[in-house]
Amino acid sequence: MKETKNIKDLFQLAVQEKSEETIEDCNEKINFILEEIKKSEINCFLSGENDNFNIYLEIHAGAGGTESQDWADMLRRMYLKWFDKKKFNYQIISEHKGEEAGIKSSTIKVDGDYLYGLMKSESGVHRLVRISPFDSGARRHTSFASVWVYPAVDEEVNIKIDDKDLRIDTYRSSGAGGQHVNTTDSAVRITHLPSKIVVQCQNERSQHKNKETCFKMLKARLYEHEIQKREKQNQDELNAKTDIGWGHQIRSYVLHPYQLVKDLRNKSENSNPSSVLDGNLDQFIEEGIKNR
């Protein structure tokens, strides 16, 4: 309070003396204080028992071939840019490239403060409307991709996994790889038979390391599975509000015939999709936290 009073007094004096430099300095200090208040407000919502966990982020292309696969790749780029802006560390665990463009699926491990609390509202179906760059007739297309965020649990969390419940497959990683993924002949896929949860890893050349990463991912998925059971009542309420015709769509990104990104749960909107797709997600992340 003392600091804000000092800034107020200094600003009034600067206005009287018509000191543009001091006025600008006061405005910068006010904006800094407002940002700190916003951070404190957001932190008040991040008090869940799992909110401080790191995350796994999965992206899957929907039906529609190249269109949806390109959209899944655009979504991944959007999130990676947001992680870069926040200085979060990430590693692409697996990816399956599309035949012509984009990705069929990708899993990313991300480390950072309160990541699960920040990101869990991003889980759901994301819809893109645009003039397709793959359509010679320049027609408008609608594409879907799903995003799933789940907590990367630590070693202290006791999740029992019976060997008899697992099917472990090894295979050669698909796609050209790229700067984030090493081509390997030792990719591993683990299926948990009771829950039908499937995890896979291909980023290491060692089959042993890929298998170890898969077990960590499976443990995290099973932990999230238990969380979902406990929150089933709340989830049912959320599903009841969802338009069944669009599945569990949470956000639309419209590039044509108008420009708009709209979250269908909290009605948050942004008329600059290019900025959002370039990683400026704070508005939607914050509204997602408050809406919970």
- pLDDT digits over 135-149, tens only? 878 889 999 999 999
What residue ranges do the domains of the chain occupy? 2-45, 54-152+243-291, 163-229
What burial letters (b/e) apply to 101-124, b meaning 16+ CB within 10 Å? Answer: ebbbbbbbbbebebbbbbbbbbbb
Going residue by residue through the chain (292 aa), what tens digit of pLDDT does each one get?
667 778 877 778 878 878 888 888 888 888 888 777 776 667 777 877 788 899 999 999 998 889 999 999 999 999 999 999 999 999 999 999 998 999 999 999 999 999 999 999 999 999 999 998 888 788 899 999 999 999 988 666 678 888 899 999 988 766 444 444 545 468 999 999 998 899 999 888 888 889 999 988 998 888 888 777 766 644 554 454 333 234 568 999 999 999 999 999 999 999 999 999 999 999 999 998 888 6
Categorise residue 291: left if φ over 0, alpha if ψ from -120 to 50, beta otherwise: alpha
CATH architecture of the domain with range 163-229: 2-Layer Sandwich (3.30)
Q: Which two tokens stand for residue 235?
A: 């989830």
pLDDT in tens, 151-169: 988 666 678 888 899 999 9
Neighbours of 193 (CB within 10 A): 11
**For the chain, what is the mean pLDDT?**
84
pTM: 0.72
**Which CATH code, of 3.30.70.1660, 3.40.190.10, 3.40.50.1380, 3.60.9.10, is assigned to 54-152+243-291?**
3.30.70.1660
In Å, what is the CA distance from 132 to each residue of 99, 140, 141, 180? 17, 6, 6, 27
Rounded distance between C-alpha atoms, residue 129 and residue 273, angstroms: 11
221-248 per-position pLDDT tens digit: 888 887 777 666 445 544 543 332 345 6
